[in-house]
């Protein structure tokens, strides 16, 4: 090999290495979701309900984020805003490098949203529903059917593939919603109470699926009230209360050396520590 050729080869290799380092660095540092001063109010008659009062978050790719908070804290509202379903919010949000206000369609193509209670077309069968979902994303029918088949099998729903969904239980419908939300191979998956209504086996499958998806580089943002699941599968836990982020970190960071459970931390940080007293008061109220 001539000297010139050797030098060219050396330079090309160096350049490739440089590019790879740059790519890896930017993957490490560029958040897939960036939220700045997110605020959202709802009007209840004449009263203003300040639900989100300035949420700031940067979310790295490949992470599982457990988004928790008491009932009415604004978890679903945040998720709906991030998915482009609620458009009138204050603050700045970018998802996958796109501005949510101006490029929400580009975002919607690359995210999956699995709501807790979706209005499904339950006169359809799972396969028809997935074919419909796939068509909305412009996916080839054979690819959708192949993927649907595999996912239905995984969630033990294959035998129901051609059954109308109006006969399905809540958990069965939840599984179909989950599968449909994954059919277009999204980069970010938003799940609102994904485990609600699922039996113990399915909870295990969902937990495994979420962990596997994160290992494949997907980002998972999920709301749940099931603290031991949040504790076990989340890389990062964000707790909101009264419109603000009140805790944010890994479970170890949140515990900060103590052996307290997430349930206990949740109760302490949201001022909901008096469950025994509340339970007693409820029982007494029934007795009167």
Ligand X SMILES: Nc1ncnc2c1ncn2[C@@H]1O[C@H](COP(=O)(O)OP(=O)(O)OP(=O)(O)O)[C@@H](O)[C@H]1O
Window contacting ligand X (CB under 6 A); options: 27-35, 75-83, 182-190, 264-272: 75-83
Q: Which of 3, 4, 28, 71 binds ligand X (CB under 6 A)?
A: 71
Given a contact cutoff of 8 angstroms between Cβ atoms, the answer to whether 179 and 152 are in contact is: yes
One of 35, 38, 66, 77 touching ligand X (CB under 6 A): 77
Interaction between residue 72 and ligand X (CB under 6 A) = yes
Query: 71 or 102, CB closer to ligand X?
Result: 71
Does 90 contact ligand X by CB under 6 A?
A: no
- Indicate whether 76 belongs to the interface with ligand X (CB under 6 A): yes
Rounded to whole angstroms, how far apart are CA atoms 229 and 211? 12
d(CA 17, CA 22): 8
Q: Does 180 bind ligand X (CB under 6 A)?
A: no
Taking contact as CB under 6 A, which single stretch among the options 22-30, 70-78, 146-154, 210-218 is the one that binds ligand X? 70-78
If one asks whether residue 273 binds ligand X (CB under 6 A), the answer comes out as no
H-only helix segments in the chain: 3-29, 75-82, 104-109, 126-136, 141-154, 170-182, 200-215, 227-233, 251-255, 262-269, 275-287
User: Residue 74 interacts with ligand X (CB under 6 A)?
Assistant: yes
**Least gap, CB of 75 to ligand X (angstroms):** 4
Does 51 bind ligand X (CB under 6 A)? Our answer is yes
Least gap, CB of 231 to ligand X (angstroms):
17
Q: Tell me how many helices (H) and strands (E) the chain has.
A: 11, 10
236 binds ligand X (CB under 6 A): no
Binding letters toward ligand X, positions 8-47, x by CB under 6 A: ----------------------------------x-----
| Residue 147 interacts with ligand X (CB under 6 A): yes or no | no
Closest distance to ligand X from the beta carbon of 220 (Å):
17
202 binds ligand X (CB under 6 A): no
Name which of 217, 211, 213, 246 is nearest 52 in CA terms: 246
Rounded Cα–Cα distance for residues 98 and 83 (Å)? 12
Under rule CB under 6 A, residue 243 binds ligand X: no
233 contact partners, CB below 8 Å, separation of at least 6: 64, 66, 207, 210, 211
Distance CA(146)–CA(110), nearest Å, equals 20
CB-based contact 226:198 (threshold 8 Å): no
Q: Which residues bind ligand X (CB under 6 A)?
A: 42, 49, 51, 69, 71-77
């Amino acid at each position: 090999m001539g000297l010139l050729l050797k030098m060219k080869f050396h330079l090309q290799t160096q350049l490739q290495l440089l590019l790879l380092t740059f790519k890896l660095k930017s993957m490490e540092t560029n958040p897939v979701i960036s939220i700045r001063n997110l605020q959202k109010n709802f009007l209840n008659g004449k009263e203003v309900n300040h639900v989100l009062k300035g949420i700031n978050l940067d979310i790295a790719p490949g992470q599982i984020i457990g988004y928790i908070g008491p009932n009415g804290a604004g978890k679903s509202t945040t998720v709906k805003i991030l998915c482009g379903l609620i458009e009138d919010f204050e603050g700045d949000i970018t998802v996958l490098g796109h501005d949510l206000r101006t490029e929400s369609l580009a975002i919607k193509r690359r995210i999956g949203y699995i709501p807790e209670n979706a209005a499904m077309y339950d006169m359809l069968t799972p396969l028809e529903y997935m074919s419909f979902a796939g068509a909305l994303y412009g996916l080839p029918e054979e690819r959708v059917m192949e993927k649907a088949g595999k996912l239905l099998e995984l969630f033990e729903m294959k035998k129901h593939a051609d059954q109308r969904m109006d006969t399905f239980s809540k958990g069965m419908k939840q599984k179909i919603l989950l599968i449909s939300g994954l059919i277009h191979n999204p980069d970010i998956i938003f799940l609102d109470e994904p485990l609600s209504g699922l039996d113990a086996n399915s909870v295990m499958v969902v937990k495994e699926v979420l962990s596997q998806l994160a290992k494949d580089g997907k980002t998972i943002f999920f709301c749940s009230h099931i603290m031991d699941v949040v504790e076990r599968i989340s890389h990062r836990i964000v707790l909101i209360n009264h419109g603000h982020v009140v805790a944010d970190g890994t479970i170890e960071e949140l515990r900060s050396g103590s052996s307290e459970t997430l349930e206990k931390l949740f109760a302490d940080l949201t001022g909901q520590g008096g469950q025994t007293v509340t339970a007693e008061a409820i029982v007494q109220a029934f007795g009167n």
